[in-house]
Structures are given as C-alpha cells and as structure tokens.
Amino acid sequence: MTEAVVDTQASPQIRFGQELRRSRRARRWSQTETAKRLGYSGAHISYVENGKRSPTRPLAVKADEVFGSGQRFFELWRRFSRAALLEGFAEFADAEARCRRLRTVGLIIVPGLLQTPAYARALAQAAVRRGAITTAEADERTDYLALRQEILDQKSPPTLHAVIEEGVLLRPVGGPQVMAEQLRHLEGLAERPNITVQIAPFSMGENLSFTLPVVLLNLPDHTVVGYAESTARGHLERSRAAVAGWESDYDQLLVEALPKAASQEMIRRARKEFPS
C-alpha cells in the first residue's frame, strides 16, 4: 500500500486529518478500528480526516498514545488552536511560555492564567452567543488556556504578579457558583510563594494607570516585552522605550493598589457575595 503524503502547506486542521489518515493506513487499520482504539465513533474520525471537524486536545493526546508518535498530533492540534486565536496572540503565548517573570493587569475579567475552567468556559460561551466565535473555536480556546496554565505548575514556575481591578471580583461571570469557585481559586493561587495578587480598589479613581489589560514578560535573555490587545488584535511590544513606560505605570499601580493581605481580605469578602 502506498503511504499517503501529508501536505505541509495545508492548514493545521487539514494536516491533522491527513496525518491521522496516513498513520492508520500505515498500520492497515480501518476507520472503524481506529475509532475504537481512540474512543470515538467512526463518523467522527471520518470527519476529522476530511477536515470537516476540528481536532481536539483529548483526541490529539490519545492519537499520540495509540500511534506511539511522541507529540506529533499534539503539536498539530496546538498549531490549529493557535490559528483560531486573536491575531498576535500566538506570538505572545510563545513568549509567555518562556518567561521568568510575568506582571499582568486585569481590568474587566480575571487574567487568563488565573481563571478556572468554568470561568473560562463562561467567557467563551458568551462569545459564541454573540456570534464572535464558533462552538469549536470556544472549545479550542479553553483547551489552549489549560495548556498555557501548565506554566504555573511546572518545576520552576515564573514569578507572577497580578493587579486586578476591584470590579473584576464583583462582575458575575458564569453565575454565583462559577464566581465563588473562581474567587476561591484566586485566593489559593495568591498563597503560592511565586504568585502575588493585589487589588486596585474603586477608590483609586483616576489614578488607575491603565485603561487596557497589559502583560509584561521578563524573558530568559533578560529582555522585557509587553502585550496588550484591542477587540480586533493583540500586539507584542518590543520597543524598549514603550515597555519602560508600561513598567513605570505598573510600578505606580503597585504603590496605589492594596497590599497583599488587604487584597486577600477583599477577595474573601467578594466571595461571600456569591453563595455557592
């Protein structure tokens, strides 16, 4: 049997399907047999092979296990998931995965690395209801966020400092139970030695130095880059002058925000507003 050739110029979704077909044919497995080994229906595998259904992280992980392919399917899934992200975000995510120090400002929602799965799903499902993304894209976003969050549990995690505006604690994303869980999670993260959470109270008024969420990343080569996004795209800022300005504003924000202990107390009080 002639082995199928994978089109390296195709989209990540198409390439995933082609690689799945090539791998099973190399073992002379039918779609039905492959589906049983992977834990999916034959129809599902057929759709994925033909690029009509998006690959998922669980499928990619299982395919690597079944075919003994290392992380080949996982990497194809990751490339696909990045394709569905906001323009500019993939570049930021690469830098985030390598950073040794991360500083972030949360103004509307809890910063992504600190979100619970339920909170993240609620945000993604809201975007689906608005027609901004598809259900498949929502699933990929939440799966990809889970992948990014693994940086916090690695052997040598980066130092993370988050300043979160008080309104974020009170905005009922996903309903009371989701919010109660999210705030408990935030409390727990803030107790880790490498994570600091400070709350910017309403009383700061006009002294809140940022009007858009911003992330500052210290990279292994000692450079610092910044990331900010609008509704249309994200931007990784490398200009030293621009990043220095953001750092200065962040330092001022730390002076005005509540200390760590007072911030933890505010989080606890906010949690009581959401009976679970």
pTM (2 decimals)? 0.73
Who contacts 245 (Cβ-Cβ below 8 Å, separation ≥6)? none
Looking at residue 3, what is its pLDDT?
47
Looking at residue 207, what is its pLDDT?
87
Residues 59 and 113 grouped into a single domain = no
Looking at residue 256, what is its pLDDT?
93
Residue 139 domain-assigned (yes or no): yes
Residues 170 and 200 grouped into a single domain = yes
Looking at residue 8, what is its pLDDT?
46
Residues 143 and 254 grouped into a single domain = yes
Residues 66 and 113 grouped into a single domain = no
Per the structure, the count of domains in the chain is: 2
- Mean pLDDT split into 10-residue runs, the chain, 276 residues: 48 83 95 94 91 82 94 82 65 86 96 96 94 83 86 93 97 96 97 96 91 93 90 82 95 94 96 86
Residues 162 and 39 grouped into a single domain = no
Final residue of a structural domain among 43, 65, 83 = 83
Residue 3 domain-assigned (yes or no): no
Looking at residue 180, what is its pLDDT?
96
Residues 238 and 253 grouped into a single domain = yes
Residues 96 and 130 grouped into a single domain = yes
Looking at residue 105, what is its pLDDT?
96
Residues 66 and 189 grouped into a single domain = no
Final residue of a structural domain among 48, 83, 118 = 83
Q: How far is the C-alpha of 34 from the C-alpha of 1, rounded, in Å?
A: 17
CATH number at residue 158: 3.30.870
Residues 33 and 96 grouped into a single domain = no
Residues 18 and 68 grouped into a single domain = yes
Residues 123 and 55 grouped into a single domain = no
Looking at residue 141, what is its pLDDT?
82
Looking at residue 54, what is its pLDDT?
75
> What is the domain extent for residue 48?
12-83
CATH number at residue 20: 1.10.260.40
